[in-house]
Amino acid sequence: MAAQLTQGEDPYALRPDCTDSAPPRFRIKPGKTLSSRAWYGAFNEQGQLNLDKVLKRIRRGGVDPAIRAEVWEFLLGCFGPSSTAPERDALRASRREQYAKLKAECQVMDNLVGSGQIATSPRINEDGSPVEEYNSGEISVADEISHHQIEDMNRGYQQTSKASSEKQDAKTIQWRLNLHQIGLDVVRTDRMLQFYASQEHMSKLWDILAVYCWLDPAIGYCQGMSDFCSPLALMFQDEADAFWCFERIVSRVRDNFSCTDKEVGVQKQLGVLATLLKVLDPKLHEHIDSIGGGNYIFAFRMIMVLFRREFSFVDTLYLWEMMWALEYSPSSIQDVSVTRTWSLRRRYKGRGKYEAQNEKYGASRMPGGKAPLSLFCAIAIFEMQRNRLLNEAQGLDEVLKLLNDVTGKIDPKEACRLALDLHSKYLRTVRRQST
């Protein structure tokens, strides 16, 4: 198990040598931020959660970092609000056992898994045969590793597994071919955090991603996954709990990582993004289209990793939990009659406000109606930079520069609030146009 942070230690502390990271805008606000007291007070005697109150608090001020891991398990659907404490204990134990079995399978195929080390050079050749020449040595996380140095890095370990000398099936070969790419991404991910100055913590992140790659061969491993997994490896003391929370995140953004011969998954969302902006701000859409940005490829990174580059590490977590609270929808909804007097104040119990608006306006029947809130957050950022985009951007390079300049300068709560307003405006506009 990875080393735990000592009591009172800031889990999001930056390395002393990282001085260029944008300071977070998130602050704990009494009465608004979901506190430990409000969180535990939302459970009844059986351990069932009154999620409605919790969602409101998260939307108003995010989650206290002390309880963030527990709250995210509910927001992401690891546990249902109606589950009791004993039921969750049993389910957690079962998931931990399942993860241990998956990890054991991976260790048989490659004993670098669980060893506390990370592969950063190929383990096998394309045909499954072992790579014979490795440079000795291990990654020293105390050393400074620049992006350019990482690209040129060719380190390995003089370790082989039994599987490397045996006949391997296609699934195993593909999995082992992915291991070094996972390693290269892990040593790039959130290097500014003191937490990842520890090789033990980096190897925890690598192990989770390696096991997931084995569990889900249809997706395997794609660049960007480490950005979603890194906060979980930091927040959860138990690796298995972090793994299953990561599995839930991937299920939400799965389309981002699905690729075919014709289309990269996120490109489909960029098409929806264009549809939304054309309705919400025709002038801005027309301008972007006129300078060659009609495919919205400049927003690829935003959507792919859900604004990990536009906000500080802490603010990204704040943004995510607010979006998940707004989008929350229980797996089964009780039959509730909807009349003309239906309003957001009488929304379905336990539903996020975003989902309530979708239900109110019948979004599922509209073009772009199933769009995730993240697309409206992207448009919110465009709108915040609207004047500059219209007046200064005469090509895609200028668009990219303007959007890169917003890093660390946007309040995540304001972006989320504007996104919700834009979503409501879109639904009203489309419904009005269709009548």
Span 15-68, pLDDT tens digits: 988 877 778 999 999 999 999 999 999 999 999 999 888 999 999 999 999 999
For residue 372, give the nearest of 251, 291, 214 by alpha carbon: 251
Average pLDDT, the chain: 86
Q: Residue written as tokens 């960007």?
A: 224
Residue 291: name the closest of 365, 397, 196, 219 by CA. 397
Tell whether the model's pLDDT for residue 242 goes beyond 90. Answer: yes
CA 186 to chain centre: 15
Percent of all residues in the chain with a pLDDT value above 70, rounded to a whole number: 84
Note the pLDDT tens digit of each residue in 329-353: 875 333 333 333 334 444 446 689 9
In angstroms, the CA 199 to CA 22 distance is 25
State the pLDDT at residue 141.
38
Quote the percentage of the chain above a pLDDT of 90.
70
pLDDT at 8: 52
Q: Is the pLDDT of residue 131 over 70?
A: yes
pLDDT digits 0-9 by tens, 365-413: 888 888 999 999 999 999 999 999 999 999 999 999 999 899 889 999 9
- The answer, yes or no, to whether residue 355 has pLDDT greater than 80, is yes
Query: Average of pLDDT values for 176-204?
Result: 96
- Residue matched to tokens 């890169």: 404
Amino acid at 168: Q
How confident is residue 261, by pLDDT bands cut at 50, 70 and 90?
Answer: low
Across 118-143, average pLDDT: 69
The CATH architecture annotation of domain 85-252 reads: Orthogonal Bundle (1.10)
pLDDT at 46: 96
Q: Please tell me the distance from the alpha carbon of residue 30 to that of residue 372, in angstroms, as a whole number.
A: 30
Separation between Cα atoms, residue 404 and residue 205, nearest integer Å: 27
User: Shortest CA distance to 426 belongs to which of 366, 386, 352?
Assistant: 366
Place of tokens 């350019």: 148
Residue with token string 């985009």: 389
More confident residue, 335 or 420: 420
> Worst-scoring range by mean pLDDT, 59-63, 106-110, 289-293, 348-352?
348-352
Instruction: Please state, in angstroms and rounded to a whole number, the distance separating the CA atoms of residues 301 and 309.
Output: 8
Tokens matching residue 182: 């996972």
Task: Report the C-alpha gap between 367 and 275 in whole angstroms.
Answer: 8
Confidence band for 139, pLDDT divided at 50, 70 and 90: very low
What are the residues whose beta carbons fall under 8 Å from the beta carbon of 85, sequence distance 6 or more? Answer: 43, 46, 47
pLDDT, residue 165, reads: 39
Domain ranges of the chain: 36-75, 85-252, 265-434
C-alpha distances (whole Å) from 164 to each of 61, 136, 286, 395, 407 are: 51, 18, 55, 50, 44
Determine whether 214 is exposed, middle or buried from the number of CB atoms within 10 Å of its CB (0-12, 13-18, 19+): buried
Please tell me the predicted confidence (pLDDT) of residue 132: 73
Give me the amino acid identity at 262.
K
Q: Which CATH number, 3.40.30.10, 3.90.1150.10, 1.10.472.80, 3.40.1710.10, labels domain 265-434? A: 1.10.472.80
**Is the whole model's pTM more than 0.75, yes or no?**
yes
Distance CA 170, CA 61 (A): 48
Indicate the pLDDT class of residue 428, thresholds 50, 70 and 90. very high
- Residue 204 and residue 233 in contact, taking contact as beta carbons nearer than 8 Å: yes
Q: Which residue has the tokens 């990890």?
A: 103
Average pLDDT over residues 307-330: 95
